[in-house]
Amino acid sequence: MGAFSYQALDSSGKLVKGVIEGDSERQVRGQLRSKSLKPIQVAAASAKTGSSLPSFSFSGWSRRLSAKDVTLVTRQLASLVQSGLPLDEVLQTAAKQSRKPGVTEALLQVRARVLEGHSLAQALGEHPRAFDDMYRSMVRAGESAGFLGPVLERLADYAESSQHTRQRMQMALIYPMVLLGVAVTVIAALMALVVPKLTGLFRNSNAELPALTQALIAASDFTINYGLYCLVLMVALGYGAVALLKDPARRQVWHRLQLRLPLLGNLVLQADSARFSATLSILLSSGVPLLEGLRIAGQVMSNLALREACKSVAVAVQEGTSLHRALDQAGIFPPLLVQMAASGEANGTLDKQLQHSAGNQERELEMMLGTAMGLLEPLTVVFMGGLVTLIVMAILQPIFQLNQLVG
């Protein structure tokens, strides 16, 4: 039994779309007619192109299903598996409970493979864009060890925690960025619209204008004459930079440079190291071997230089080096991660120590972001106030000089 997508007309003539299970296209059309639907188009879901299949993973989505949907589906699977239902019924029930056709379609396709005799991990492997390496590896480990339900619970917790961290980082960045954008817009509007009217009184004056006033008039003229060109140039430079960074070699050079920048480098290192530690911890606690865990955990890091360092760590571990020594030899990972790995290897609690390391690094990252954003807000206000003060002084200075001459 497979999954079929359909388009049909209901009794009122309204177009209805969805996904339904059936043995054949003819049998599906019969099901639709029994529901008072007039089938227009019926096609096997597996016949669709990969680009049309909504996919989700913890690191990103092709059609961007929310993390809430990912967590909900995984928790549903975990709850149903732990209730003792057969796996095919678990997948069918989860598909029926989902209100999103993309998720329903993916679950029904997985169920069809399970009914053919494949394991859940093998069935998920046919949807690599929907279920990433980490997801499939943990499911495979859970199936082999006989505790699939708890593994799915860990996956749901991880997805929820990751989304919560991303939301906090986004919320911390939104207000300062909006404030800075408003400040730049207000200054540009003053220079292009207000200042020319005020300084027009001094342009035809034979008196020598103060240097600050002359600079203000020049800046205003430049904004009026070339401001639009500068904006277009900035947008073009942005697009050009994005196009250049599509090349892996250039992107790796940029990522190495990121790690050397004073503030940005530390933020990138803390964020990726926390993600690496949390992923490796949950993989190890689920029974995934260390070498495979290192390969998967390295893929969750966004910085290519850190990914390369993770590969060298995996090679060193494969050759017999301990994890903490390999991390230390890489010379790029935070000392806290190295120390926690050494402690975990010494007392046999590597997964727990890595989880502690991830938590500490996430808290440190939040503190760094909070400090940076806390400084950016007053600095933006001071910047805007300083520019407005300069504009006012540049306008008032000629007026003061005129009053002195009259006096």
State the pairing for strand pair 2-9/38-44: antiparallel
Domains 2-47 and 52-131 belong to one CATH topology:
no
Which are the contacts of 139, defined by CB distance < 8 A and separation ≥ 6? 120, 121, 124, 131, 148, 151, 152
User: Tokens standing for 59?
Assistant: 């690191």
CA atoms of 364 and 372, how far apart (whole Å):
12
Q: State the chain's maximal CA–CA distance in angstroms.
A: 101
Amino acid in the structure at residue 38: K
- Other beta carbons less than 10 A from residue 230's beta carbon: 12
> Which of these ranges, 240-254, 297-311, 340-354, 363-377, has the smallest mean pLDDT?
363-377
Which are the contacts of 8, defined by CB distance < 8 A and separation ≥ 6? 15, 16, 32, 37, 38, 39, 40
The predicted model gives 345-368 an average pLDDT of 87
Residue 275 has pLDDT above 80, yes or no: yes
Amino acid in the structure at residue 62: S
Token match 């998720």: residue?
103
Question: Whose CA is closest to 54, among 79, 19, 22?
Answer: 19
Which are the contacts of 71, defined by CB distance < 8 A and separation ≥ 6? 156, 159, 160, 163
Q: Domain 52-131 class?
A: mainly alpha
pTM over 0.75: no
**Residue pLDDT, tens place only, 359-388:** 888 888 878 877 877 787 788 788 888 888
Q: What is the DSSP letter of 192?
A: I
pLDDT for 3 equals 65
Amino acid in the structure at residue 276: F
Please give the mean pLDDT across all residues of the chain: 79
CA atoms of 94 and 107, how far apart (whole Å):
8
Architecture of domain 2-47: Roll (3.10)
Question: Whose CA is closest to 274, among 169, 132, 174?
Answer: 169
pLDDT for 326 equals 92
Domain boundaries, the chain: 2-47, 52-131, 258-366
Architecture of domain 258-366: Up-down Bundle (1.20)
- Other beta carbons less than 10 A from residue 7's beta carbon: 15
The predicted model gives 190-195 an average pLDDT of 79
If DSSP codes are grouped into helix, strand and coil, which group holds residue 18? strand
Q: What is the DSSP letter of 5?
A: E
Contact between 6 and 32 under an 8 Å Cβ cutoff? The reply is: yes
Compute the half-sphere exposure of residue 341: CA atoms within 13 Å on the CB side of its CA.
Answer: 26
